[in-house]
Homo-oligomer: A and B are copies of this chain.
């Protein structure tokens, strides 16, 4: 794409994202933008998180999808409020799309608003949605080289969730190697190793969420 057009698009996006960030701050709601490849388990991680923390935290979800509202229905089945954004083939969510749907939530009543982005390890990274933090999700079946090959997300993310660790025995994935790549790109990145099938590591993820949500309330 022409660089000046790209710059204009990103600047317009950033401007709306900054508006959103103020609104989220006024309402003291923690906003987390979940980014990963298709099939890394973003929705499964949300389903578990929403179900397991429902009595402690008030949570809502914006679901971004190219097509279908399957994920929004899965998330809504936990009892959490879920609002669908269908990008009609588009490869990422942007701040304008988020702005259109936030009035569907009672933000002042939420502790955490999750944004589940379109499954794509590249494009969503550049489009700020006003979030407090991007969360990178990487499943062990994708290979431990992904932070090295798709560095931008891992440079910017506050946390990296290594998902599907129940499959580690059956794939060639070196958790230390993936973590080392992640830390080399971003020394402050928090790393969680989890399985939504056997619950491994979820408690560490929940502890971090509780802490971030509490910090936002201060």
Contact = CB atoms under 8 A, between A and B. Distances in A.
Given A89-B152, A122-B118, A142 B38 contact: yes
A91 to B, nearest CB: 4
A118 B171 CA distance: 22
A150 B119 contact: yes
A70 interface: yes
What number of copies of this chain does the assembly contain? Answer: 2
A36 to B, nearest CB: 9
Contacts of A149: 38, 65-68, 70-71, 119
A157 to B, nearest CB: 15
Interface of A: 1, 5, 9, 37-39, 65-68, 70-71, 89-91, 118-123, 139, 141-143, 145-146, 148-152, 164, 166-167, 170-171
B167 A37 contact: no
A148 B146 CA distance: 25
Given A1-B9, A118-B122, A122-B123, A38 B164 contact: no
21 contacts: A1-B9, A37-B37, A37-B119, A37-B142, A38-B142, A38-B146, A38-B149, A39-B142, A39-B143, A66-B149, A67-B148, A67-B150, A67-B151, A68-B148, A70-B148, A89-B152, A91-B120, A119-B121, A122-B123, A166-B170, A167-B171
Given A37-B119, A119-B150, A121-B38, A145 B89 contact: no
